[in-house]
Amino acid sequence: MIKILCLTGTLTASTQIRILGPLNLLEKNDMIRQRVVFVSRKTNPDLKHIQWADIIVFQRQRSKKWLKLLKHAQKNRRMTVFEIDDNMFEIPKGHPEYGLLNRIKNKKYMRFIKRVDCVTVSTEELCNYLSKYTKRICVLPNYIDKEICNFDFSKREKKKYITIGYSGGKTHKPDLEIVIPAIKKILDEFPNKVQFKFLGYIPSELIEYSQIEYIGLISDYRTYLYSLKTSGIDFAIAPLKDNLFNRCKSNIKFLEYSICGIPGIYSNVKPYTDIVKDRKTGIIVNPNSSDNWHEAMKLIILDKNLRENIARNCYEYVNKHWLLQDNFTKWFEVYSSLMKNKK
């Protein structure tokens, strides 16, 4: 049985989606044994973990002491994996993480990427980008754990307001800029019919609007999905600027909205163009046109049947094709292949 050690940082959504979720299911089905160690600046490498493991997964680790651990693992013929699910090497200007510090981090990431036996990523776009640095890359898409979120359409409540939602952190500040004028216009047009709910981040330009509710960042992924599911959001928006950084992102926002029965409006940008069917499982709009965002929001506000049809379609689509329970063995295939290469 394969023994897998994962070294990761804080308990982020990425850790829960890409590490804990699939590894827990693999262990539950007696396919692997696992240990997950949360590391910090104060954490020192424990060589006992290395001796125990067959495969060591480094999730976005970059410090020198963990690089030494990587070298030690390889010296002792342990297989090594570097897990990354964002294109940190193409962060655009205006992004909160753009700058010298990010470039320094990237050099440290690259030391791992070039040394490990395998790099795992969430999208084909990110795989294509990193292929110029290493050929040892596997795509493991993001999936939704059905045990975390299961929606019941029969429990929708009648409300006075139509609630439009947005979910995302402050790193999406540049993506929201083009939509802000459209949001203001909608609030002015429908003062007694529409309200907005922001989960995680809200632009400063919208804070003082009485029709807006803000819920702070929720770090635990299970709690976050429950909050999204019970938020009362009737439809949501997912704006992305069209740049290389965003094109390498996964479709996780579509999966999250859809599994909660929330129809969405999405930018006409990868990752959404590959999965959203316009007016069937979502609405696709020009990412650079505030007028298009306004028109799409107005359409879905006024057309209740369209809203409900998209909600049902996207929920059924994700349940059929994008559940972790139906796809977790893809992680085992990658790990088994590594062990075969070792032999």
Domain at 275, CATH number: 3.40.50.2000
Does some domain include residue 148? no
Q: In which band, very low, low, confident or very high, does the pLDDT at 177 lie, cut at 50, 70 and 90? A: very high
Answer yes or no: is 242 within a domain.
Answer: yes
Q: Whole-model pTM?
A: 0.93
Q: Confirm whether 145 is domain-assigned.
A: no
Same domain, yes or no, for 19 and 104?
A: yes
Give the orientation angle of helix 290-302 with respect to helix 304-321, to 10 degrees: 100
* Percent of the chain whose pLDDT exceeds 90: 74
Q: Is 16 contained in some domain?
A: yes
99-103, 109-113, 147-151, range with greatest mean pLDDT? 109-113
Q: Looking at residue 152, what is its pLDDT? A: 64
Q: What is the mean pLDDT of residues 107-123?
A: 94
Average pLDDT of every residue of the chain:
92
> Which whole number is the average pLDDT over 277-301?
97
Does residue 7 sit within a domain? yes
- Same domain for 306 and 243? yes
Please tell me whether residues 161 and 285 are part of one structural domain.
yes
Same domain, 331 and 316: no
* Mean pLDDT of all residues in 42-68: 83
Q: Is residue 147 part of a domain?
A: no
58 and 130 fall within a common domain: yes
Higher pLDDT, 99 or 238: 238
> 332 and 315 in one domain?
no
CA distance 80 to 71: 10
Q: Are residues 309 and 171 in the same domain?
A: yes
On whether both 160 and 301 belong to a single domain, the answer is: yes
Q: Does residue 133 fall inside a structural domain?
A: yes
Residue 65 scores a pLDDT above 90: no
- Please tell me whether residues 177 and 221 are part of one structural domain: yes
Domain count, the chain: 2
Q: Which two tokens stand for residue 46?
A: 């424990």
Per-residue confidence band for 299, with pLDDT thresholds at 50, 70 and 90: very high
| pLDDT band at residue 343 under the 50/70/90 scheme | low
pLDDT digits 0-9 by tens, 221-279: 989 999 999 999 999 999 999 999 999 999 999 999 999 999 999 999 999 999 999 99
317 and 331 together in one domain: no
Q: Is residue 291 part of a domain?
A: yes
Q: Do residues 113 and 161 share a domain?
A: no
The confidence score (pLDDT) of residue 14 equals 93
pLDDT at 207 over 80: yes
Q: Regarding predicted confidence, which is higher, 108 or 277?
A: 277
What does the pLDDT average to over 47-74? 87
Same domain, 335 and 289: no
Lowest mean pLDDT of 29-38, 133-142, 215-224, 237-246, name the range: 215-224
Q: Which residues span the domain enclosing 206? A: 153-321
